[in-house]
């Protein structure tokens, strides 16, 4: 059977995973994951260390075979479609690996020589363009062993972006980058997605992910806990701070109605899972005076911690 990667024509998803599982001996690394990676968007993958993020990326790229379930990349099953699909995918997984005694340019030319869609005569120009794109033009002829962590990361990104791609998958791409490098990466990936391409980024830098990603998936202990737009995740974890002289009575009334509430050292109630109108109505029905009711802005970090802690419980 002959495979062909279709032109980018507004396909709903660049990758689709259904019932995906990966077991190593007695360890379940990925468990029954269903996932869509949409075209034209940046999808952020969040999860604690050891949650299965890198294993999921390796399954997507066909670097390891699933124990159960299916993974589809650019319309083709993986790993059987890897030879045709992967030239259209740029990836940086578990950090860049280059020869320490070769220069950045020499290392990148070796990477380029393995690109099936890049003619030999086009390699020098493609390498030079990629080095300039990531800001390494002036350091291209220095040995890789002398690069800083951020420069090594940039060279890895240059390898992932040697050719026009349909999908880019990056594992901790901001590792070692300075603020300018992080801004460049953010602008590049958002521009790449704006052209209808797809981006999957795994990162622990939640403040940066909040600015970069359109959607996020949260993974905990190998399971996909949630996939939603960033604004929905932060909205769902918003917290109300309630000031009342009868905190105990109001807390009991909220608990009876299945609303999560905690009392801090100052006697304030911190309420999640209900809006201000509902909390105010419950206070009125209970006959509890409310002296203050403020909606606290939630961050992506708040949402992430809430989802992973809930899953752990």
pLDDT at residue 109 is higher than 60: yes
Q: Stretch 120-130: mean pLDDT, rounded?
A: 95
pLDDT at residue 23 is higher than 50: yes
Q: How far apart are the first and last CA of the chain?
A: 48
For residues 251 and 263, the answer to whether their CB atoms sit within 8 Å is yes
For residues 12 and 39, the answer to whether their CB atoms sit within 8 Å is yes
Q: What tokens were used for 52?
A: 């299965």
Q: Give the whole-angstrom CA distance, residue 129 versus residue 159.
A: 11
Give the number of other CB atoms < 10 A from CB of residue 110: 14
Q: What tokens were used for 275?
A: 């809006």
| 4 pLDDT tier (thresholds 50, 70, 90) | very low
> Bigger pLDDT: 7 or 300?
300
pLDDT at residue 1 is higher than 50: no
3-class SS of residue 5: coil
Residue positions counted in the chain:
313
Q: Give the whole-angstrom CA distance, residue 18 versus residue 70.
A: 5
Whether the link from the prior residue into 79 is cis, omega within 30° of 0, is yes
Q: What tokens were used for 164?
A: 């026009």
Strands (E), the chain: 13-24, 27-38, 41-46, 68-73, 76-78, 89-92, 167-171, 198-202, 215-220, 223-229, 239-243, 260-263, 269-272, 292-296
Nearest residue to 210 via CA among 188, 194, 186: 186
Q: What average pLDDT is seen over the chain?
A: 86
Q: Give the whole-angstrom CA distance, residue 222 versus residue 52.
A: 5
Q: Which helix (H) or strand (E) holds 34?
A: strand 27-38
How do 223-229 and 215-220 pair as beta strands?
Answer: antiparallel
Domains and CATH numbers, the chain: 13-229 (3.40.50.300), 239-296 (3.30.70.100)
pTM: 0.76
pLDDT at residue 6 is higher than 50: no
Helices and strands per DSSP (H, E), number in the chain: 11, 14
């Amino acid at each position: 059977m002959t495979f062909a990667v279709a032109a980018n024509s507004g396909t709903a998803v660049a990758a689709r995973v259904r019932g995906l599982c990966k077991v190593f001996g007695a360890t379940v690394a990925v468990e029954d994951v269903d996932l869509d990676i949409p075209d034209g968007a940046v999808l952020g993958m969040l999860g604690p260390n050891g949650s299965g993020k890198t294993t999921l990326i390796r399954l997507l790229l066909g670097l390891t075979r699933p124990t159960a379930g299916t993974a589809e990349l650019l319309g083709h099953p993986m790993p059987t479609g890897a030879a045709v699909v992967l030239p259209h995918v740029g990836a940086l997984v578990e950090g860049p690996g280059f020869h320490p005694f070769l220069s950045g340019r020499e290392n990148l030319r070796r990477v380029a020589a393995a690109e099936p869609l890049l003619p030999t005569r086009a390699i020098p120009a493609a390498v030079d363009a990629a080095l300039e794109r990531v800001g390494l033009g002036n350091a291209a002829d220095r040995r890789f062993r002398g690069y800083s962590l951020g420069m090594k990361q940039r060279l890895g990104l240059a390898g992932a972006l040697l050719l026009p791609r349909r999908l880019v998958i990056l594992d901790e791409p901001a590792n070692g980058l300075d603020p300018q490098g992080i801004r460049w990466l953010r602008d590049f990936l958002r521009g790449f997605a704006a052209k209808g391409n797809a981006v999957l980024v795994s990162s622990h830098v939640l403040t940066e992910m909040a600015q970069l990603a359109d959607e996020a998936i949260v993974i905990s202990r190998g399971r996909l806990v949630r996939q939603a737009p960033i604004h929905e995740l932060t909205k769902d974890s918003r917290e109300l701070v309630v000031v009342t002289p009868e905190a105990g009575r109001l807390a009991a009334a909220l608990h009876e109605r299945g609303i999560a509430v905690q009392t801090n050292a100052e006697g304030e109630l911190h309420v999640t899972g209900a809006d201000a109108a509902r909390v105010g109505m419950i206070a009125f029905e209970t006959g509890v005076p409310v002296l203050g009711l403020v909606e606290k802005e939630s961050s992506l970090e708040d949402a992430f911690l809430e989802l992973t802690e809930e899953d752990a419980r």
